[in-house]
């Protein structure tokens, strides 16, 4: 029971708001106000802050019940309903943004109130108390309201405790290379394509990548140095298509001035070598 | 191992450098096969470090993600001044939403609203997701297929919890029907003794399992 | 100050939480005026901490920016393994460079820069070469003899390609239908419709057993 009381106590996290037992209705300039003001002037903003601090109709109802130290199981529904409606009217007057849920609750309270007034048929002892559903909801809400307060009180990082972070001397952190998805590479290329106009020509669009690949292979072969017989660059097992690819690659490389063809004399074997390279 | 510096120094160095919790397995993984201590030795070392820290500005705690060295609560008021910004204060609405997700997971937004009696703002759900305290673990198979929210390991680590079972016990619900008939309490479907005895546990999905 | 926890604990906590060096002045700044120690006390405390750490996995060192706690060199080789499991993602610049080498090989660094419109850092080329995804296949016969880069067999193997011809054409890459609009990193989002296609994975077992 005291547990639940505390739930109410911590309630609005604004220091000057109602606490315990005889909860003041509000605190105005340091002085607690114990009852709804009739003719007293209250600074509207103080009242607004107070009324605005309710998390909804259930929260407001709980406040009304706890304020009077009532047992949640024995709510004097008529009184509470009247008080609730007074508050809701007040909120309306102050033009607070009033969630529709407040009005739904007002209607529900009025209905319970009228059902309570009806005489209970003698035999129907097992009929549920009209307040039962409301009581269940209030308790259910209150336990989580309380749980939220307790959660907030748990020692947490960045407020109550802090992570430590000692540095490691340089040279000792070896990082594994990340995994890369081909899609990421292609998306990066799309980004380049959007920026560069180099690729706009249709020739490049249609260019077979196999030629590019072969250019690299040929370059690598001739890089070893010296002359490579022209014929050795062709692998006849690849068939006609493969031969064409190699031939196109050679033409591209010659055009790019990467390699040159050398022939000692007419009809002698042709050799390929790296341009400008004794490398 | 390396002269005066051995298992204890390596584990201490790792815990202090990691910037987050480490599991015993992660600690074991720091050693090559031929030098690897056994698990019990690691646990003993952890206990020994915990004792060493009793009078220091730091402490060793166990959270969901493993063992973590953290600056003690007792000195936090001073240490916190290192940073200009004050720690964030979360609204009641956010904390109540988080509490409902923690205790009632997996739960939909509509179910949270039913209990709180007011709507849950999108910005709250967004904040909780951005902090990686909650995540969507599925969808309820009803019209609209609302998302089901659950808390993450990061949530547990952040609040210094080893598991959801470490959460404070929920207050009990009293049934007006059973007032004055306390012997009957056992029949209530909400076990009154511990509130929610075992909140459902959500098996971490691959991306959630290895965040830290 | 707070019981058993005093100046030393606060300074230790601050040094370990700061994530970088702290000057004596910064340490003095943690205290309110009425409780502030004098500078000599702070320096004495630092000396005392340094002595405390003599046989620990960490040490207190003085660097240009002040005092810093770091993992001892002697245990750093083990502690450094902590990060082996958490690789950092590659930059967009690196992926673009790789894509251009794949599609325009053999290509020089200058040519890549011309297309990308920005310079290609040496570290990108180095990273790709270390991964053995690219290699130098020759040099362009122009002043400076710039290296010509091409992709490797390893590159093809890594991405599951039999040959470069398996790569989509440029026209296909431009087509938003084929690749989708942007990277979907599977992050948590709120949209219930496509947020998480997998069914809820809620298993009612106690969490205790699974700490990773």
pLDDT tens readout for residues A247-260: 888 888 888 878 88
C97 to B182, C119, C151: CA distances (angstroms):
75, 10, 11
pLDDT in the model for residue A236: 76
- Answer yes or no: are the C-beta atoms of B95 and A150 closer than 8 Å: no
Q: What average pLDDT is seen over chain A?
A: 76
8 Å CB contact of C163 and A180: no
- Alpha carbon dihedral C11, C15, C18, C21, in 10-degree steps, equals 120
pLDDT in the model for residue C168: 87
Q: What kind and span of H or E run contains A48?
A: helix A44-52
pLDDT in the model for residue A149: 95
Closest CA to A81 of A117, A107, A104, A50: A107
Q: What is the nearest CA distance from C33 to chain A, expressed in angstroms?
A: 22
Cα–Cα distance between C55 and B66 in angstroms, integer? 25
- B174 touching chain A per CB within 8 A: yes
Sign for the pseudo-dihedral over CA of A224, A227, A228, A230: positive
Q: Which residues contact A191 (CB under 8 A, 6 or more apart)?
A: C92, C96
- A140 touching chain B per CB within 8 A: yes
Residue A116 tokens read as: 């309570």
Determine if the peptide bond prior to C106 is cis (ω within 30°): yes
Cα–Cα distance between B134 and B212 in angstroms, integer? 14
Collapsed DSSP state (helix, strand, coil) of residue A242:
helix
C-contacting chains (≥3 CB pairs under 8 Å): A, B
8 Å CB contact of C17 and A195: no
8 Å CB contact of A222 and C138: yes
pTM of the model: 0.62
Residue B158 tokens read as: 């952040």
Cα distance from N-terminal residue to C-terminal residue, chain C = 39
Closest CA to C65 of A167, A173, B15: A167
Residue B115 tokens read as: 């209990």
Per-residue pLDDT averaged across A116-128, rounded?
Answer: 68
Sign for the pseudo-dihedral over CA of A43, A49, A54, A57: positive
Residue A23 has pLDDT above 70, yes or no: no
pLDDT in the model for residue C4: 66
Sign for the pseudo-dihedral over CA of B15, B19, B21, B24: negative
Cα–Cα distance between C132 and C117 in angstroms, integer? 25
pLDDT in the model for residue C8: 95
- What is the layout of strands, in order, in the sheet containing C147-151? C107-108, C147-151, C134-139
CB-CB neighbors (< 8 A) of B71 in chain C: 13-14, 16-17
Closest CA to A96 of A109, A107, A104, A87: A87
- Answer yes or no: are the C-beta atoms of C150 and C106 closer than 8 Å: yes
8 Å CB contact of A180 and C164: no
Cα–Cα distance between A239 and A77 in angstroms, integer? 95
Cα–Cα distance between C113 and C210 in angstroms, integer? 50
Residue A3 has pLDDT above 90, yes or no: no
Give the residues across from C2 on adjacent strands: C5
Residue A206 has pLDDT above 80, yes or no: no
CB-CB neighbors (< 8 A) of A163 in chain B: 19-20, 68, 70-71
- What is the layout of strands, in order, in the sheet containing A228-229? A228-229, A270-274, A259-263
CA–CA–CA angle A171, A177, A181 (5° rounding): 160
Cα–Cα distance between B166 and B181 in angstroms, integer? 31
Cα–Cα distance between A36 and A83 in angstroms, integer? 10
Q: Which residues contact A245 (CB under 8 A, 6 or more apart)?
A: A208, A210, A211, A214, A238
Per-residue pLDDT averaged across A68-87, rounded?
Answer: 91
User: Which residue in the set C14, C201, C212 is minimally distant from B23, CB to CB?
Assistant: C212
CB-CB neighbors (< 8 A) of A135 in chain B: 176
Q: What kind and span of H or E run contains A243?
A: helix A239-255
- Answer yes or no: are the C-beta atoms of C116 and A196 closer than 8 Å: yes
- A137 touching chain B per CB within 8 A: yes
ipTM comes to 0.64
- A166 touching chain B per CB within 8 A: yes
8 Å CB contact of A148 and B99: yes
Q: What is the nearest CA distance from C187 to chain A, expressed in angstroms?
A: 16
Flag residues of chain C having pLDDT under 70: 1-4, 85-87, 178-212
C169 to B133, B208, C100, C103, C177: CA distances (angstroms):
43, 36, 13, 9, 14
DSSP notation for B78-132 = HHGGGSSSPPP---HHHHHHHHHHHHH-SB-HHHHHHHHSSPPPHHHHHHHHHTT
CB atoms closer than 10 angstroms to residue B176: 17
Cα–Cα distance between B80 and C30 in angstroms, integer? 8
CA–CA–CA angle A97, A99, A100 (5° rounding): 130
pLDDT tens track, chain B, 212 positions: 445 679 999 999 999 999 899 999 999 999 988 899 999 999 999 999 999 999 999 999 999 999 999 999 999 999 999 987 888 899 999 999 999 999 999 999 999 999 999 999 999 999 999 899 999 999 999 999 999 999 999 999 999 999 999 999 998 877 765 444 443 333 334 433 344 434 444 443 434 333 33
CB-CB neighbors (< 8 A) of A274 in chain C: 138-139
Cα–Cα distance between B18 and B69 in angstroms, integer? 9
Q: What is the nearest CA distance from C10 to chain B, expressed in angstroms?
A: 5
pLDDT in the model for residue A196: 64
pLDDT in the model for residue B86: 84
DSSP notation for chain C = -BTTB-HHHHHHHHHHHHSS-B-HHHHHTTS-GGGPPPHHHHHHHHHHHHHHGGGSSEEEEEETTEEEEEE-TTTHHHHGGGGGG-PPPPPHHHHHHHHHHHHH-SEEHHHHHHHHSSPPPHHHHHHHHHTTSEEEEEE-SSTT-PEEEEE-HHHHHHTT-SSGGGSPPHHHHH-HHHH-SS---------TTTS--SPP-B----GGG---
Cα–Cα distance between B203 and A79 in angstroms, integer? 48
- B47 touching chain A per CB within 8 A: no
Which burial class, exposed, middle or buried, applies to A19 when counting CB atoms under 10 A from its CB (0-12, 13-18, 19+)?
Answer: middle
Q: What is the nearest CA distance from B190 to chain C, expressed in angstroms?
A: 17
- B96 touching chain A per CB within 8 A: yes
Collapsed DSSP state (helix, strand, coil) of residue A71:
coil
CB-CB neighbors (< 8 A) of B176 in chain A: 73, 129, 131-132, 135
8 Å CB contact of A147 and B92: no
pLDDT tens readout for residues C52-111: 999 999 999 998 889 999 999 999 999 988 887 666 788 888 999 999 999 999 999 999
Determine if the peptide bond prior to B106 is cis (ω within 30°): yes
CB atoms closer than 10 angstroms to residue B106: 21
Q: What is the nearest CA distance from B86 to chain A, expressed in angstroms?
A: 8
Q: Which long-range contacts (CB under 8 A, 24 or more apart) does C121-128 make?
A: C121/C93, C124/C91, C124/C93, C124/C94, C124/C97, C125/C97, C125/C149, C127/A177, C127/C90, C127/C94, C128/C94, C128/C97, C128/C98, C128/C101
**Tokens 């109550």, residue?**
A160
A90-121 burial code (b ≥16 CB/10 A, e <16) = ebeeeebeebebbeebbeebeebbeebeeeee
* Minimum Cα–Cα distance from C187: chain B residue: B207
pLDDT in the model for residue A238: 76
- A14 touching chain B per CB within 8 A: no
pLDDT in the model for residue C142: 84
């Amino acid at each position: 029971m005291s547990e639940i009381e505390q739930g109410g106590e911590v309630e609005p996290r604004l220091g000057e708001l109602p606490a315990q037992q005889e909860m003041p209705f509000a605190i105005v300039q340091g002085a607690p106000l114990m009852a709804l003001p009739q003719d007293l002037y209250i600074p509207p903003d103080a009242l607004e802050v107070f009324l605005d601090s309710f998390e909804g109709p259930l929260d407001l109802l709980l406040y009304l019940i706890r304020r009077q130290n009532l047992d949640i199981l024995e709510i004097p529904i008529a009184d509470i309903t009247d008080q609730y409606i007074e508050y809701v009217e007040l909120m309306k007057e102050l033009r607070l943004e009033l969630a529709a849920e407040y009005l739904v609750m007002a209607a529900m309270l009025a209905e319970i109130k009228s059902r309570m007034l009806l005489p209970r048929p003698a035999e129907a002892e097992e009929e549920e108390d009209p307040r039962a559903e409301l009581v269940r909801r209030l308790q259910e809400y209150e336990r989580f309201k309380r749980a939220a307060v307790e959660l907030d009180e748990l020692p947490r990082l960045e407020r109550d405790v802090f992570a430590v972070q000692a540095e490691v001397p340089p040279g000792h952190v070896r990082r594994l290379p990340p995994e890369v998805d081909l899609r990421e590479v292609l998306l990066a290329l799309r980004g380049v394509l959007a920026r560069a106009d180099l690729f706009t020509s249709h020739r490049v669009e249609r260019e077979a990548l196999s030629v590019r690949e072969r250019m690299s292979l040929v370059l690598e072969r001739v890089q070893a140095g010296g002359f490579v017989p022209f014929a050795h660059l062709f692998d006849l097992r690849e068939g006609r298509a493969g031969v064409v690819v190699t031939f196109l690659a050679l033409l591209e490389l010659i055009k790019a001035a990467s390699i040159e063809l050398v022939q000692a004399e007419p009809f002698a074997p042709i050799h390929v070598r790296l341009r400008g390279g004794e490398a | 191992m390396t002269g005066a510096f051995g298992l204890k120094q390596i584990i201490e160095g790792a815990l202090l450098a990691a910037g987050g919790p480490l599991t015993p397995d992660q600690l074991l993984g720091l050693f090559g096969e031929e030098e690897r201590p056994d698990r019990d030795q690691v646990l003993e070392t952890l206990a020994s470090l915990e004792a060493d820290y009793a009078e220091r500005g730091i402490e060793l705690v166990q959270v969901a993600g493993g063992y973590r060295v953290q600056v003690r609560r007792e000195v936090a008021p001073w240490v916190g001044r290192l940073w200009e910004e004050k720690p964030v204060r979360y609204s009641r609405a956010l904390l109540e939403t988080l509490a409902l997700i923690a205790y009632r997971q997996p739960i939909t937004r509509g179910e949270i609203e039913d209990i709180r009696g007011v709507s849950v703002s999108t910005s709250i759900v967004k904040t909780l997701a951005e902090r990686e305290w909650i995540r969507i673990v599925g969808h309820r198979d009803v019209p609209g297929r609302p998302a089901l929210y659950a808390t993450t390991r990061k949530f547990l680590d952040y609040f210094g919890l080893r598991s959801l079972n470490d959460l404070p016990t929920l207050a009990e619900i009293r049934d007006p029907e059973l007032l004055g008939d306390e012997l009957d309490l056992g029949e209530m479907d909400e076990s009154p003794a511990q509130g929610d005895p075992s909140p459902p546990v959500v098996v971490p999905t691959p991306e959630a399992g290895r965040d830290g």
